Amino acid sequence: MLQGFKDFIMKGNVVDLAVAVVIGAAFGAVVNAVVDSVLMPLIAALFRAPSFDDWFVLDINGVAVRFGVLLTALVNFLLIAAAIYFLIVMPMNKMIEARNRRLGIDPAEEEVSEDVALLTEIRDLLAGQRGGPTTGTTRTTL
């Protein structure tokens, strides 16, 4: 019983997942620091308020409905998405493109796996027997 547990824990998937969670948490702190310490103060300087929490408050029978809190959350989400895209995704894509150019890899010449090639051949043969089209997303009901 303990050997099975040890084998499960030592599998590459579990270790990779654990590393990804730890790195993700550390990366989340970096992204939050960029948003909270750089981007939100810039937004606050433009609108003369640290957040939109006090904007659009509606009082209904003594209960405050605060649409500004939702607006703040949406702005934070957009800032986090922008920070991740411009600080991580774009530079990573540029690095991958540069590496592929250096290695002479052309993305237009992507290799088709054996499974996909075989399934394409089967689809074309079946379509030929029916006299139907040989390309597209035609599905056959059995």
pLDDT at 114 over 70: yes
Please check whether residue 35 is in contact with residue 80, taking contact to mean a CB–CB distance below 8 angstroms.
yes
Query: What CATH number does the domain containing 59 carry?
Result: 1.10.1200
Asked if residue 8 belongs to a domain, the reply is no
Asked if residue 139 belongs to a domain, the reply is no
pLDDT of residue 95: 93
pLDDT at 123 over 80: yes
Range of the domain at 68: 13-130
Asked if residue 2 belongs to a domain, the reply is no
Asked if residue 110 belongs to a domain, the reply is yes
Percent of the chain clearing pLDDT 70 (strictly above): 87
The count of structural domains within the chain is: 1
User: What pLDDT, in 10s, does the model give residues 16-73?
Assistant: 888 888 888 898 888 888 888 888 888 888 888 777 887 878 888 888 888 888 888 8
Asked if residue 138 belongs to a domain, the reply is no
Asked if residue 45 belongs to a domain, the reply is yes
pTM attached to this predicted model: 0.54
Cα dist from 82 to 9, 113, 116, 137, whole Å = 36, 34, 35, 35
Asked if residue 79 belongs to a domain, the reply is yes
